[in-house]
Amino acid sequence: MLIWPTCLVQFLVRSVLHTKVALSRSTSLCLMDTLLSLPRCILPLKHPNISSQSGAICLDILKDQWSPALTLKTALLSVQALLSAPEPDDPQDAVVAQQYLRDYPTFMGTARYWTEAFAMTSSLGVEEKVQKLVEMGFPEALVKSTLVSVNGDENMALEKLCSG
């Protein structure tokens, strides 16, 4: 089972914050337009259904199978399911899909390396962590105090900021 929670959490935070901002600016804005402009991973991932170049996610409900009846929760659960169960027969990244099918141990080794190199942020300094969380839309003063309260753990700070 493959799961990259950092990407999913950042996708969720950006989606929710962007949706709140967009909806507060215009009541006629369609939620579908907001969601369809967002489905990208901002971290490099080794996954057959996510472009290693652009971060584009290959998931039908984020493209042509979208329906207004689908909620943000449904979209995020679908992304989580896709991350957990790759579909190499319908890839976004054909090279990664071929490696997944033909040389799974190498695929897993590279995926593990990319996760450690790009998703684990424990080596970041405090200022880099602050900047990263501020870019997600949180106020700088709140980010700094939250990071202090969780002893610099960026993921815990993000959870605390999201929970209000």
Q: What is the pLDDT of residues 86-98, one digit of tens each?
A: 899 989 999 999 9
Concatenate the DSSP letters of all residues of 5-29 into one string: HHHHHHHHHHHHHHHHHHHHH-TT-
End-to-end CA distance of the chain: 31
Quote the pTM value. 0.53
Residue 79 has pLDDT above 60, yes or no: yes
pLDDT value for 24: 39
Q: Of the residues 7, 41, 58, 162, which is catalytic?
A: 58
Spans of all domains in the chain: 5-120, 124-164
- Cα(51)–Cα(57) distance, integer angstroms: 7
Residue 100 has pLDDT above 90, yes or no: yes
Q: What is the pLDDT of residues 40-78, one digit of tens each?
A: 666 677 889 888 888 888 888 877 787 778 887 888 888
Q: Is 162 a catalytic residue?
A: no
pLDDT value for 97: 94
Of 130 and 28, more confident: 130
The total of other beta-carbon atoms located within 10 Å of residue 17's CB is 14
Phi, psi of 77 (to 5 degrees): -65, -35
Residue 5 has pLDDT above 70, yes or no: no
pLDDT value for 101: 95
Q: What is the pLDDT of residues 112-154, one digit of tens each?
A: 887 777 766 555 678 888 888 898 889 999 999 998 888 888 8
Percent helix / strand / coil, the chain, rounded to 5: 60, 5, 35
- Cα(136)–Cα(14) distance, integer angstroms: 6
Q: Contact, 137 vs 15, CB < 8 A?
A: no
Beta bridge mates, 56: 40
- Cα(16)–Cα(11) distance, integer angstroms: 9
Is domain 124-164 annotated with CATH 1.10.8?
yes
3-state secondary structure of 128: helix
Is domain 5-120 annotated with CATH 3.10.110.10?
yes
pLDDT value for 145: 92
Per-residue confidence band for 37, with pLDDT thresholds at 50, 70 and 90: low
